[in-house]
Amino acid sequence: MTIPETKTAVEWLASVAPDPEACRFEWERNPLGVALLPAGRRWDVLILPGELGQATLDVLDLLLDRPGPVLADFGDSRLGFFVPPGTASRWLGTGVRGAGRGSWVVVPYPGRATGGVRWLVLPDGEGTLTDPAVLELAMHEAAARVLAKEDRTS
């Protein structure tokens, strides 16, 4: 990401914080380079298990010019897809966790490596999110791919 894109992404993310200045300060001063941000205002996060999440991201990359932001935790055991607010409370899916209103998400500074969580798809700063219907279709295709892969290795 270039400096202007990073600044725009930082502003977009920090805008949901109760105190945006404190959020930016935390990103700059915290050795981990992360801040805790509330979900449910500008975005929710749907959290998928790692293998399904990575396969879903692969499918989204084929379907879209650019999916919304995606986070991965340490070891890529879980991936978080940023979706429109309200999605988490309506989502029904086995093994998928939602972070919506009342939830907090650990968010790294855009473009900076951290020890625990990292961006797989950086926010664009314009508010691009993954459409839940497209995410659901990608998850179905990804699940079929994961099962086919398991069948080949058994």
For the ranges 34-38, 74-78, 80-84, 128-132, the lowest mean pLDDT is seen at 74-78
Distance in angstroms between the alpha carbons of the first and the last residue of the chain: 41
The C-alpha atoms of residue 70 and residue 122 are separated, in whole angstroms, by 7
The C-alpha atoms of residue 89 and residue 111 are separated, in whole angstroms, by 29
Residue 152 pLDDT > 60:
yes
Summarised one tens digit per residue, pLDDT across range 27-78 is 888 888 899 999 999 999 999 999 999 999 999 999 999 999 999 998 889 9
- Residue 49: the pLDDT is 94
Residue 2 pLDDT > 60:
no
